[in-house]
A and B are shown apart, each in its own frame.
Chain A
């Protein structure tokens, strides 16, 4: 008896439709300037953009700029995460601190970090440091808030058990706090990674420090629509990649932590 694989069929259908959607989108995009609905000056042909994209990928200057962006991203993310984990753990574990900092956190958190751009420019000029101020400020909160949630989520029974067995502070941290807070931390890192990319590029666009964002702004002011669209596609792909990578890491860390409840297939 042939094993009918309905799951396989479903996956096949999903992928086919997805690709069809993508192709359809690209076709519509190509048709609009071709049919003259919008001038190619404002919406260039997909083919032109694709060609430019491939050329960019062969250009060393492009990779250097990409490296600039990713450097700012990585450094900003690292600083923000370390600070957030350190502060978040301390604040999360000490109820007094949590209460004392609550209003301050709730006031500072919603401030759009782009509001700090003028200040950053004044202090550091058109350099990566200025961008880092913006990146760190925004990414910090993503991780900080998640760490506090994570630390606060410690199962009361587990904690009492640990205490009754006389575990030292350090052992408690390792075996109780860390496993509980880890999934939250992973979620926070994923969110922070996305935010950090957005702000790294934004900072380059507005401040002008070297990177992809600056290239985008230059393309715009030069009226180079094809180049502009090509760079936008690049940033989209970059965002997708970062998201996929961090989701993957998050899922691997969570795989031992939560049993994945199977969906009833009927």
Chain B
């Protein structure tokens, strides 16, 4: 593909690409590395027992979580989290669509729903505990009781605000009710719905942690609280680290799904901007 005439230009192009990759890598890792190094330095030179060095934490991380504790505590917590999120999405979207489409139903339920959404989610934990006792179902219901509201209300909002010209187009071409729902209303509402799902994810994580911290005898949140109560600092930090990784993991997965589902939406924004 390359002829003799372009061999002069080729090395500098390759160099340009290499330069760009290196720059990206440095940007991505630079600050984190500096912060970790600063953390290591601080923990070595100050004897603050609340801030063990990164290596200590890493050690504790492997010790604590890589092993039986993972299956006993972490996996059940994550399963409950996933289950709670899924139930919230399904119920939230279905109910939200129905309510959004039926005007009088929306007017009827809106004040009550808005009130429930305004209740800080962790406050519902004692209520759910009261009604259901301390069971696994309770922990799942707690997650749903907080995560469902952003999805439900965002779906309602998204479904009701379908573009009028698009609706008229559908009417003019005789597109059936069912087709309208599947090909118009739901796709048009999907950006709104995804915003709701994103909010629901962070609420679900908070509820999972809190409900286990004081309403449980197992699970990730319980373990971290246990470590804190018994002054096992390094292990506690490792738990915090694990929670952070879970949070990042959820955010990443959501990002991937969102980009795929809303490819058209991002495409339009790109075109508008450019």
Show the binding face of A for B, using Cβ within 8 Å: 13-14, 17-22, 24-25, 38, 42-43, 99-104, 106-112, 114-119, 121-123, 197-198, 201-202, 205-206, 213, 216-217, 219-220, 225, 228-229, 231-232, 235-237, 239-240, 243, 263-264
Q: In the complex the two chains form, is B202's CB within 8 Å of A112's CB?
A: yes
Which one of B32, B120, B240 lies within 8 Å of A116 (CB-CB)? B240
User: Of B58-66, B109-117, B180-188, which binds chain A?
Assistant: B109-117
Q: In the complex the two chains form, is B29's CB within 8 Å of A197's CB?
A: no
* A110-B202, A112-B206 known; A198-B121 Cβ under 8 A: yes
Residues from chain A with a CB closer than 8 A to the CB of B129 are 220
Q: In the complex the two chains form, is A102's CB within 8 Å of B247's CB?
A: no
Q: In the complex the two chains form, is A112's CB within 8 Å of B224's CB?
A: no
Which one of B125, B164, B227, B250 lies within 8 Å of A118 (CB-CB)? B227
Q: In the complex the two chains form, is B126's CB within 8 Å of A228's CB?
A: yes
User: Does B248 sit within 8 A of A, measured CB to CB?
Assistant: yes
Q: In the complex the two chains form, is A123's CB within 8 Å of B30's CB?
A: no
Q: In the complex the two chains form, is A22's CB within 8 Å of B112's CB?
A: yes
Provide the bound-state CA to CA distance between A19 and B110, in Å. 10
Which one of B30, B50, B122, B131 lies within 8 Å of A202 (CB-CB)? B122
Q: In the complex the two chains form, is B123's CB within 8 Å of A100's CB?
A: no
User: Does B193 sit within 8 A of A, measured CB to CB?
Assistant: no
Show the binding face of B for A, using Cβ within 8 Å: 27-32, 35, 50, 104, 107-112, 114-116, 118-127, 129-131, 164, 202, 205-206, 209-210, 213-214, 224-225, 227-228, 231, 233, 236-237, 239-240, 243-244, 247-248, 250-251
Q: In the complex the two chains form, is A197's CB within 8 Å of B120's CB?
A: yes
* A106-B251, A202-B120 known; A18-B115 Cβ under 8 A: no
Q: In the complex the two chains form, is B35's CB within 8 Å of A104's CB?
A: yes
* A14-B107, A110-B202, A118-B228 known; A219-B247 Cβ under 8 A: no
Q: How far is the CB of A154 from chain B (nearest CB, A)?
A: 13
Q: How far is the CB of A65 from chain B (nearest CB, A)?
A: 14
Q: How far is the CB of B84 from chain A (nearest CB, A)?
A: 14
Q: In the complex the two chains form, is A100's CB within 8 Å of B228's CB?
A: no
Q: How far is the CB of A55 from chain B (nearest CB, A)?
A: 20
Q: In the complex the two chains form, is B224's CB within 8 Å of A107's CB?
A: no
Q: In the complex the two chains form, is A18's CB within 8 Å of B119's CB?
A: no
Main secondary structure of the interface of B (DSSP, over half): helix
Residues from chain B with a CB closer than 8 A to the CB of A205 are 122-123, 125, 210, 214
Main secondary structure of the interface of A (DSSP, over half): helix
Residues from chain B with a CB closer than 8 A to the CB of A220 are 126, 129-130
* A220-B129, A240-B115 known; A17-B31 Cβ under 8 A: no
The contact sample of 19 A-B pairs, CB cut-off 8 A, is: A18-B110, A21-B111, A24-B108, A25-B112, A103-B28, A103-B31, A111-B248, A112-B205, A115-B224, A115-B239, A118-B240, A122-B233, A198-B122, A216-B126, A220-B130, A232-B124, A237-B118, A240-B115, A263-B164
Which one of B108, B124, B250 lies within 8 Å of A21 (CB-CB)? B108
Residues from chain B with a CB closer than 8 A to the CB of A110 are 202, 244, 247-248, 250-251
Q: How far is the CB of A230 from chain B (nearest CB, A)?
A: 12
Residues from chain A with a CB closer than 8 A to the CB of B205 are 112
Provide the bound-state CA to CA distance between A15 and B205, in Å. 36
Which one of A14, A21, A123, A197 lies within 8 Å of B50 (CB-CB)? A123
Which one of B27, B116, B224 lies within 8 Å of A99 (CB-CB)? B27
Q: How far is the CB of A17 from chain B (nearest CB, A)?
A: 4
Provide the bound-state CA to CA distance between A72 and B267, in Å. 42
Q: How far is the CB of A12 from chain B (nearest CB, A)?
A: 11
Q: In the complex the two chains form, is B50's CB within 8 Å of A236's CB?
A: no
Q: In the complex the two chains form, is B224's CB within 8 Å of A118's CB?
A: yes
Q: In the complex the two chains form, is B32's CB within 8 Å of A103's CB?
A: yes
Residues from chain A with a CB closer than 8 A to the CB of B228 are 118-119, 121-122
Q: How far is the CB of A67 from chain B (nearest CB, A)?
A: 17
Q: How far is the CB of A257 from chain B (nearest CB, A)?
A: 18
Q: In the complex the two chains form, is A42's CB within 8 Å of B130's CB?
A: yes
The 4 nearest A-B residue pairs measured at CB: A118-B228, A239-B118, A110-B247, A17-B107
Q: In the complex the two chains form, is B118's CB within 8 Å of A243's CB?
A: yes
Residues from chain B with a CB closer than 8 A to the CB of A102 are 27-28
* A115-B224, A115-B243, A119-B236 known; A217-B108 Cβ under 8 A: no
